[in-house]
Chains A and B, each alone.
Chain A
C-alpha cells in the first residue's frame, strides 16, 4: 500500500498540451501511472503524448469519460487557482498543483473551498508524489526511487530528490514520497501527510524534510510525538546558515522576527523523537539507528 497515489489512481493532467505538462505526463506514463486523461480548454477531442492520452475541454468531461479520481495541474499561475476549483467541482478527490508563483491571497479562498468540498489538495509549488512502482504524479524523477517502507514528506523539490537518492543508494526503499510545496499557503501540511502515513500499514518509518520559515515543522513535531511515537523518525532541516529577513528562493522560506529558524525546528523535532541529520547523506544511517529494519 501507499498514500495519496497508488494502484487505484486514475490521473487527469490539467494543462497536458503545454510544454511542461506534456513532458512530465510522458514521464508519469513511463513510470506506470494510470494516466487516463488530459484537459486543455479548446483542445478537447485531440490526443496528447504520442496519441496515448485523450484530451478533454473540461475536467467534468474527463471524469465522466475516464473515471479519473486524481488531478495533476501544470496550468500557469494566473489560471491555476481556477483549475484547482474546476477539478474539485468535477469530483476529483486528490489534486496536485505543481504550478509555482500563485499569489498567496489567491490560495486562501481556494484551500477553504477544497476543504469544504471534502477533497484534498497537495501544493501548490510542489513536486507531487510518487509511490515507487505503482504511480508517480508530478515531477519527481522516477529513477531515484526504490519500492519500500519509508514514507518521505518534504517542503522542497531537488532536496527531496537528494535525500531519496541517498536512501535508494543505501538499499532503503520508499512507500510514498510527497512534496507538499514551498509556498506560504498550501493545501496539505506536514501533519496532514503524517496522518496518512500513520494510517498506512506499509509505512514503517518516516523521513521529514523541512526548511526555514513558518512553523509547520514544529506543528509536525508536536503531532508526531503523540501519534507516531512508535515509528522510526528521521528529519533534515535546510537553512541553518540562512540569514534573517531574506526569502530563500521559496516564497515561504523566510526567517522573520526571529521565528522560523532552523534551530527552532531542529529542537522541536529532536524533542519529538526525530533523529535529525546534519546532511541528507546521513539519513539512511539514522533510519537504521532509529530502529528501521526494512
Chain B
C-alpha cells in the first residue's frame, strides 16, 4: 500500500527523524491559512506540493514555491486543478521552504535477491535513483542491514562518510538508522527520503547553522503487515482508490482493472496473469486481473462476477478454474447463481478442470453456457464472443447479447 507524503513524514517523525513542519489543505483558502502560519513563524517562502501517489509531480507542475499567503492560495488553486498521470490532485501539502545547501538520496528497501534490507545512499539527491544508477552507478553506496539486528552504527557511519556527511556524522547516522527503524516499525517495503537535504537556518542574529532535514518522503507498506498495524489502515488514501478496489478487498479478491474488453475470473495469481496473456495472444484485450483465491465458494464467485460486470467495457467473460482445493461444481453453481442475479449479461466462456470438472461441465451445459477444455481454446472463444457482442451503449448497463 502506498501512502501520501504527509503520512510518510509522520511515520518518519514518529521515529525521531527531522522533517519540516507541514499542513495538508484540500482548498486554496486552507492553503493560504497554513501559509500564513508558516510566514508568521518566520518562513521566507512556502512550498506547495500536490499530494498524489504517483511519481513525477514536480515535472507536472505539482510542486511550487510561494512568497506570500496570497501567492500560496493562487499556487494551491492551480495545483488543485491539475491531473497528474490520470490522478486529479485533491490535496496539497504546505510547508516552509528550506534554504537548501546540498541534496542527498537515502532509502531503505527489501533486496529480494540478497534477502536482506538494503540501505542505499547517494550524494546526488533530488533526482531519481534509477537515473543515477544508470548514469553513475559508482555514486551509489549500498549496505545490507544485519538480518537480526538491523542497520548497525558502523554501517550507518560508512554510508554517512560515503555521502560526504562526515561533518554531520551523528545526525546522518541517526537518519540512516531511522529509515530502517521506520521500515521495521511499520512493515514497510520501502522508505525513501529524496531529497535528504542539508539546509541552512538563520538565527535572529543573522548567524547561520546547517542541519539535515528529510524534505520529501515516500513509503510503501507491505500489505501482509497491515493486519498487525490497524492504525496504518487509516492512511489508505480513499481519494485515489477505485471503489471497486475496496469492494474486491472486502471479498478477499485480488482485482486490478485494465483497459480491455474481456473480463477474467481465475483461481491463482500466476494462472490469472497467464489467462490475461493468452487473451492478448488470441487477439483480445483483458479487462482485468482477477484472482478469486483458493477454495472459492459460491458467494465469492458472485462477488467476482459483480466486480467484472461493473466495468462497462466488458463484452465477454472468461472463467478459468484449475480445481485443486477449489471444487469445479461449486464454482459452476456459483456462476449460475451470480448470473441469475445480474441485470447485465454478457457472453461467458467457462473452462473448469481438476476436481469435479465433469460435474461442472454438465451443470454449465444444461444452462447453455459455453465451455472449453483447454485454456487456449477458452481464450479464443472468449475473444470471438467479445467480437460478436454489441458494445454497451453509453455504459448504461443495458442488456447485451447472450
Taking a contact as CB atoms closer than 8 A, the residue among A141, A144, A182 that contacts B270 in the complex is: A182
Task: Tell me which of B89-97, B151-159, B277-285, B388-396 binds A.
Answer: B277-285
Known contacts A108-B147, A109-B148, A112-B147; decide if A159 and B274 are in contact (CB<8 Å): yes
* Chain B 368-381 interface 0/1 with A at a Cβ cutoff of 8 Å (1 = within): 00000011100000
Task: Tell me which of A145-153, A214-222, A285-293 binds B.
Answer: A214-222
Residues of B within 8 A of A157 (CB): 268-271, 294, 324
Residues of A within 8 A of B130 (CB): 257-258
Most buried by B among A162, A240, A247: A162
Taking a contact as CB atoms closer than 8 A, the residue among B115, B270, B374 that contacts A155 in the complex is: B270
> Would B271 and A156 count as touching, CB distance under 8 A?
yes
Q: Is A67's beta carbon under 8 Å from chain B?
A: no
Most buried by A among B147, B228, B256: B147
Residues of B within 8 A of A216 (CB): 112-113
* Chain A 12-23 interface 0/1 with B at a Cβ cutoff of 8 Å (1 = within): 000000000001
Known contacts A108-B117, A251-B224; decide if A165 and B254 are in contact (CB<8 Å): no
Q: Is B354's beta carbon under 8 Å from chain A?
A: yes
> Would A242 and B270 count as touching, CB distance under 8 A?
no
> Would A141 and B274 count as touching, CB distance under 8 A?
no
Residues of B within 8 A of A29 (CB): none
Residues of B within 8 A of A189 (CB): 113
Within 8 A of B (CB), among A212-262: 212, 214-216, 219, 236, 238-243, 246-253, 257-258, 262
The number of residues on chain B lying at the interface, defined by a beta carbon within 8 Å of a beta carbon of chain A, is 51
- Give Cα distance in the complex from A184 to B221, angstroms: 13
Residues of B within 8 A of A32 (CB): none
Q: Is A101's beta carbon under 8 Å from chain B?
A: yes
> Would B324 and A240 count as touching, CB distance under 8 A?
no
Within 8 A of A (CB), among B298-330: 322-325
Known contacts A102-B224, A104-B222, A161-B354; decide if A185 and B274 are in contact (CB<8 Å): no
Q: Is B286's beta carbon under 8 Å from chain A?
A: yes
Task: Tell me which of B39-47, B183-191, B338-346 binds A.
Answer: B183-191
Q: Is A134's beta carbon under 8 Å from chain B?
A: no
> Would A247 and B324 count as touching, CB distance under 8 A?
no
* Chain B 140-184 interface 0/1 with A at a Cβ cutoff of 8 Å (1 = within): 000000011000000000000000000000000000000000011
B307 to chain A, nearest CB (A): 14
> Would A103 and B268 count as touching, CB distance under 8 A?
no
Residues of B within 8 A of A77 (CB): 224, 227
B266: nearest residue on chain A (CB-CB)? A158
Known contacts A103-B224, A139-B325, A249-B291; decide if A112 and B115 are in contact (CB<8 Å): yes
Q: Is B289's beta carbon under 8 Å from chain A?
A: yes
- Give Cα distance in the complex from A185 to B117, angstroms: 11
Q: Is B116's beta carbon under 8 Å from chain A?
A: yes
Residues of A within 8 A of B272 (CB): 248-249
> Would A139 and B324 count as touching, CB distance under 8 A?
yes
Known contacts A105-B225, A219-B113, A280-B274; decide if A248 and B376 are in contact (CB<8 Å): no
A237 to chain B, nearest CB (A): 9
Q: Is A75's beta carbon under 8 Å from chain B?
A: no
B135 to chain A, nearest CB (A): 15
Residues of B within 8 A of A140 (CB): 324
Most buried by B among A141, A258, A279: A279
Q: Is B8's beta carbon under 8 Å from chain A?
A: no
> Would A158 and B113 count as touching, CB distance under 8 A?
no
- Give Cα distance in the complex from A108 to B110, angstroms: 9
B263 to chain A, nearest CB (A): 14
> Would A214 and B271 count as touching, CB distance under 8 A?
no
* Chain B 92-115 interface 0/1 with A at a Cβ cutoff of 8 Å (1 = within): 000000000000000000101101
Residues of B within 8 A of A214 (CB): 112-113
Residues of A within 8 A of B280 (CB): 240-241
> Would A162 and B273 count as touching, CB distance under 8 A?
no
- Give Cα distance in the complex from A39 to B134, angstroms: 51
- Give Cα distance in the complex from A213 to B184, angstroms: 22
6 contacts between A and B (CB under 8 A): A143-B354, A154-B270, A158-B322, A185-B115, A238-B271, A241-B258
Task: Give the A-binding residues of B (Cβ under 8 A).
Answer: 110, 112-113, 115-117, 130, 147-148, 183-184, 187, 189, 222-225, 227-228, 254, 256, 258, 266-274, 276-281, 286, 289, 291, 294, 322-325, 353-355, 374-376
7 cross-chain pairs, A with B, having the tightest CB-CB distances, nearest first? A249-B269, A156-B270, A158-B268, A159-B270, A112-B147, A103-B225, A238-B273
Known: A108-B115, A161-B322, A279-B376. 16 other contacts (CB 8 A): A105-B117, A107-B115, A111-B147, A236-B274, A239-B277, A241-B258, A241-B277, A242-B276, A247-B223, A248-B273, A249-B289, A249-B291, A250-B270, A253-B273, A278-B281, A281-B374
